[in-house]
């Protein structure tokens, strides 16, 4: 589904050049639940950003469902992100001034979807994460785990093919983290949604199909199956 070939990412300033990723070759299969681990600053988030088309690699090629994504316009990339990718962030990134339901509807605002259809899809997504009773609440009225569930609902409302989760349990205690992990597992299992998750938690990583490890911008191990 997602293929990274010889990915290289260099951050340049006037005086310094930082190699964030080098020679990354990675294939993510359809329906796979992949976790990425590595120490802080090893390039995990950079890699996730490149996978999510939020950042462009300095070198190499990204293809998604056999379509090479090089030279795409901003409009095309945005459309691609909107329709095919869902994002989950460690700090949730909910808009505090909007109720839960509106937060979940957000990706559909950038599609030609009617208001009533947006509402219906958002309600469905919230039901899936067990938050249908919190639709009118504001994020400030929710616990961390509930916020992350809202973020998951927002990620799945557009029925993406791929979910990219950047430390989704990083801000949560183990019980809440476990709840979130169960939802992700369920999405992967029931809907065949491909998930790539960056985590610092070995236990969470063990629950995914495959773990790849990054160190100093390079893949040091991959294809280590825990739960194939």
Q: Which of 75, 112, 114, 175 lies at the binding interface for other proteins (CB under 8 A)?
A: 75
Q: 102 to each of 32, 92, 116, how far by Cα in Å?
A: 30, 15, 12
174 binds other proteins (CB under 8 A): no
For other proteins, give the closer residue by CB, 108 or 172: 108
Beta bridge partners of 27: 3
Sorted by sequence, the CB contacts under 8 Å of residue 132 that are 6+ apart come out as 123, 126
> Smallest distance, Å, CB 165 to other proteins?
12
Q: Which of 16, 74, 116, 140 lies at the binding interface for other proteins (CB under 8 A)?
A: 74
For other proteins, give the closer residue by CB, 49 or 194: 49
Find the DSSP H helices in the chain: 44-51, 74-84, 100-109, 115-128, 144-156, 174-190, 202-206
> Smallest distance, Å, CB 45 to other proteins?
7
79 binds other proteins (CB under 8 A): yes
Please choose, out of 70-78, 186-194, 208-216, 217-225, the segment that lies near other proteins by the rule CB under 8 A: 70-78
> Smallest distance, Å, CB 228 to other proteins?
30
81 binds other proteins (CB under 8 A): yes
12 binds other proteins (CB under 8 A): no
Q: Which of 97, 127, 191, 202 lies at the binding interface for other proteins (CB under 8 A)?
A: 97
Q: Cα 207 to the chain's mean position, in Å?
A: 16
Q: Which of 35, 45, 148, 169 lies at the binding interface for other proteins (CB under 8 A)?
A: 45
Q: Cα 83 to the chain's mean position, in Å?
A: 13
CA distance 226 to 228: 6
Q: Which of 109, 186, 215, 221 lies at the binding interface for other proteins (CB under 8 A)?
A: 109
Q: Which of 1, 10, 19, 106 lies at the binding interface for other proteins (CB under 8 A)?
A: 106
CA distance 11 to 30: 31
DSSP per residue, 148-208: HHHHHHHHHTT--SEEEEESTTTTS-HHHHHHHHHHHHHHHHHS--EEEEE-S-HHHHHTS
């Amino acid at each position: 589904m997602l293929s990274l070939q010889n990915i290289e990412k260099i951050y340049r300033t006037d005086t310094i050049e930082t190699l964030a990723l080098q020679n990354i070759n990675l294939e993510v299969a359809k329906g796979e639940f992949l976790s990425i681990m590595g120490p802080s600053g090893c390039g995990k988030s950079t890699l996730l950003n490149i996978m999510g088309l939020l950042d462009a690699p300095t070198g190499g090629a990204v293809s998604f469902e056999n379509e090479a994504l090089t030279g795409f316009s901003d409009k095309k990339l945005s459309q691609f992100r909107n329709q095919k990718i869902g994002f989950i962030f460690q700090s949730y990134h909910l808009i505090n001034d909007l109720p839960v339901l509106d937060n979940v509807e957000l990706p559909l605002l950038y599609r030609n979807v009617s208001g009533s259809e947006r509402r219906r899809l958002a309600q469905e997504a919230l039901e899936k994460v067990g938050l249908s009773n919190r639709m009118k609440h504001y994020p400030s009225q929710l616990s961390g785990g509930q916020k992350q569930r809202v973020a998951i609902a927002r990620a799945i409302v557009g029925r993406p093919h791929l979910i990219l989760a950047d430390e989704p349990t990083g801000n949560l205690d183990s019980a809440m983290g476990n709840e979130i992990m169960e939802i992700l597992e369920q999405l992967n299992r029931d809907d065949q949604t491909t998930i790539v998750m960056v985590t610092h938690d070995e236990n969470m990583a063990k629950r995914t199909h495959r773990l790849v490890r990054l160190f100093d911008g390079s893949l040091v191990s991959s294809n280590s199956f825990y739960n194939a």
